[in-house]
Structure 1
Amino acid sequence: MNGEQKDQLIQKVLDRKDELIELCSNLLKINSENPEGDSTEITNFIDEFLKKAGLETTIYEAAPKRFNLISELKGNGKKKMILCGHTDTVPVGDRSKWSFDPFSGVVKDGYLLGRGASDMKGGVAGIIFALAFLKQERITPPGDLILALVPDEECGDIYGVPWLLKNRYLDADGSIIAEPASPLNPTIGQKGSYCFKVTIYGKPGHGSLSPFAGRSAIVDAMQAIKEIQTVTDLEINIPEELLPLIDLSNKFIKDEGMDGYDKVLKKITCNVGTIKGGTGTNVVADKCEVKFDCRLPFGTTQEEVYEYVKTKLNALGIEYSIERFGFRSNANYTSAQDPICKSVVDNISYVKKKNAYGVLQWACSDARHFREYGIPVLQYGPAETETIHGFDERVKVQDVVDCALVYILAALDFLED
């Protein structure tokens, strides 16, 4: 599209932006917390909204009350593009620490308020609106535009994107995931993830005789934790071709005021998430479980970290076992030169009137699954980053509108043969 065509389309969206904000507000009013995992209400609402816009939908129940919804706007070409988002949110937590009802969906002082506003119902509203807008305005895209909404990205990540891909319900030449991102910086790659539980086994005894009787699994676990955390000190051989992208991402990190985080993309991070051990204060602990979350940069793998951890634990002479769980992936990315990345970045720049560029993410998401199936993908969605997964979650109304504009323009550009 040329500039004049884009400007005309932008104006049409702006004329209908109240519909977008109302849609987002209504999504925020629906409780879709996970791990409860019941996406019935929010899926039914979206299904009805899309059908009213004249679109057909297909719903797949991958597990009890976990619904995937797909809707497709057929185009005039062979290319296909996916707009993807998850409908679940993390739990609200302690409601007394919220200054507003987390399911109010209120618009106040230029913000939409509620659990999931940034992660990621603001983005979900944008991609739903994008498909409905094109249908209602009778704009036929140059190729097929597919909306995919999944139920469990926040907890388990089993019955959403990977389930759809495995069962061949999804395929495309490119994809946008409406996950939260910086307004000018979509994420085109991410670190890997390796979560594991180490169980330390001790010998029980009477607490009044410790450390002369028994062997405390908790004490051994303290040593194990210290050794496992040294994984952060490992020097990683970053592939040379990725160094420019990492340097650009570190520039973004510094520009965002996150001083001290510039090492994150080149190091393995290691978080001690939970510790559970012992049966009572008067008993020498015979078992202690510790869960770790390691994020892996380019240049290392899950297997290498696993072997490192085993070597460190074996040297301690303790009895233990290791069990992997949760997210598991190696670092992955989509080239900034890929058409899906260029179409998004170019249209962010056009909408925002500022220079945009893609960066790496230190967390992980559904993007890795698309890349495993050879589908180029990047993430871009509205966010008030400091409120994600926290209390008083919110998102700027203007960012929700701008992202919807980017989704529409990028889709039409990308689907051109």
Structure 2
Amino acid sequence: MSTQGILEKIVDEVESEEDELVDLCSKLVQIPTVSPPGESREIAKFIESYFGSLGIATHIYEKVEGKSNVCVELPGKREGKIIWLGHVDTVPPGDPSSWKHDPYGGEVVNGRIYGRGSSDTKGAVAAAMIAAKALSRLPRDERCSVEFWFTTCEEIGAREGARWLAEEGFFRGDVCIVGDSEGFLPRDPVIDVGCKGILRVKLKAKGLAAHGSVPFLGENAVEKLIEVWRYARRISEFKLDVPKALEPIFESSISLFERRMKLNKSQEASLRRLYHFPTVSLNIIRGGIKANVVPDYAEAHLDIRVTPGTDMNSVKDRMINLVKESKVDGVEAEIYSLREGIYEDPKSPYVKSLSEAVRRVTGFSPTLRILTGGTDGIHVKQISKIPCLGLAPGVHGTAHTVDEYVTIENLTAVAKIYAVYPLLFKP
């Protein structure tokens, strides 16, 4: 059979499994896998049972009991090996009463599957499972080898998931496709060629307690934090020295964002700075023990995202200096997480072959993007030294939100791409 005939066969195979794909995604959503704590044994057993029914062997690996990672191996005879990586854990749903659709219901309504993790990333997991099923039915000499990894704890640093697996040497392949992305549309597909790095800072302020009626006898730690934040937020004005090779990708990333979102003028201005300056968000602030007590301790957590290929240490040093420049006594900056971003050369053969798979399935050339968030691809790239690209069915702006959903159209298209890529891949 010709290559085109094989491609058409596997695309038709995935198309015929759409009902099962939807059912799989719904059932995955119905299994709670909140991180923390990141326990995933129930969903791992579900995945193991599914592949067992197909006669496909699986392996489960745990650093900590109950935090399961599943590997499905499909050996092929063509040269090369692809790693597919997606996580099964999710963030908490928040207040269930704020949801119109049960966060663990896996409801299918008007072409959408609702529930926590549907977009991030149980939809991608379901698509990979169907792709693996379709690939297993092909003769080995028609495809390269593929390993599908379904991991846990991505939402809390992956220390019992992909990070641990990378450190232990489990990942071995030529390229890794990370099923953790958003913004895909069959008529406007996206490939992530990189993702931003992360710098997390805890500002810790010490004050002096006093009665709330005589605040001048104390030192208000919350007020100290507020003053320091006025300086710390200026990290967003620190110009980054970015790789010139990524400039076209920055432009295509910004253009994609503009196509997906309606922005006001202030948001548009921030978008234009998205890759040449860090972003900073004050996401947690704690302080005070009682309404009539001047707080003697307060802390704030800052989430700083930095373009890959830039000097993270220079950003860290600038942040520490900004806190010093505030000249507020009793406040220090603790750097508790520093993770550089990653990127692949847009002209690499891996990008070209995945782009070809996207074109074969959708009929459209993909937009290449640097993802603003981080993924487990960082661990695979930095520890296992395997090139990483992101492609997933996630819907733009739905991850971690109320009434999160993924579309059936996206699921089917991405499942086809996952199935087609091992037929086109050349290391």
> Per the shorter chain, which TM-score range?
over 0.9
TM-score, normalized by length of structure 2? 0.92
Indicate whether 1:242 and 2:243 are aligned.
Answer: no
Distance 1:107 1:235 in 2: 46
Cα offset for 1:298?
4.1
CA contact (8 A) 1:187 1:378 kept: yes
Indicate whether 1:205 and 2:213 are aligned.
Answer: no
Matches within 5 A, 1:217-296: 217-257=221-261, 259=263, 260=268, 261-296=271-306
SS of equivalent to 2:324: helix
Unaligned runs of 5+ in 2: none
Matches within 5 A, 1:2-401: 2-138=3-139, 140-181=141-182, 182-183=184-185, 184-211=189-216, 213-257=217-261, 259=263, 260=268, 261-298=271-308, 300-315=310-325, 316-326=327-337, 328-372=338-382, 373-401=384-412
CA contact (8 A) 2:10 2:135 kept: no
CA contact (8 A) 1:126 1:403 kept: yes
Distance 2:161 2:348 in 1: 25
CA contact (8 A) 1:253 1:262 kept: no
SS of equivalent to 1:22: helix
CA contact (8 A) 1:345 1:357 kept: no
What whole-Å deviation, never above 9, does each CA across 1:288-334 have from its counterpart, x for those lacking one? 111110001246433222222222222314123333335x3223201
Distance 1:406 1:368 in 2: 22
Distance 1:163 1:391 in 2: 30
What whole-Å deviation, never above 9, does each CA across 1:109-165 have from its counterpart, x for those lacking one? 111122111111110011122112221344555332101111111123211111111
1:207/1:106 CA distance change after superposition, 3 Å = closer
| Aligned residue type for 2:117 | G
Cα offset for 1:62?
1.4
SS of equivalent to 2:171: coil
Distance 2:341 2:26 in 1: 35
SS of equivalent to 2:113: strand
What whole-Å deviation, never above 9, does each CA across 1:366-396 have from its counterpart, x for those lacking one? 1111211321111111122232211111111
| Aligned residue type for 1:98 | W
| Aligned residue type for 1:6 | L
What whole-Å deviation, never above 9, does each CA across 1:5-24 have from its counterpart, x for those lacking one? 32232112212222222222
| Aligned residue type for 2:293 | V
1:299/1:156 CA distance change after superposition, 3 Å = closer
SS of equivalent to 1:274: strand
Aligned sequence identity (%): 27
SS of equivalent to 1:386: coil
Cα offset for 1:258?
5.0
Unaligned runs of 5+ in 1: none
SS of equivalent to 1:144: strand
1:309/1:180 CA distance change after superposition, 3 Å = closer
| Aligned residue type for 2:361 | V
Structure 1 stretch 347-356 or stretch 115-124: which is displaced more?
347-356
| Aligned residue type for 2:25 | C
Distance 2:246 2:137 in 1: 42
Distance 1:122 1:164 in 2: 22
The structure 1 segments of at least 4 consecutive aligned residues displaced by more than 4 Å after TM superposition are: 137-141
TM-score, normalized by length of structure 1? 0.94
Structure 1 stretch 224-233 or stretch 62-71: which is displaced more?
62-71
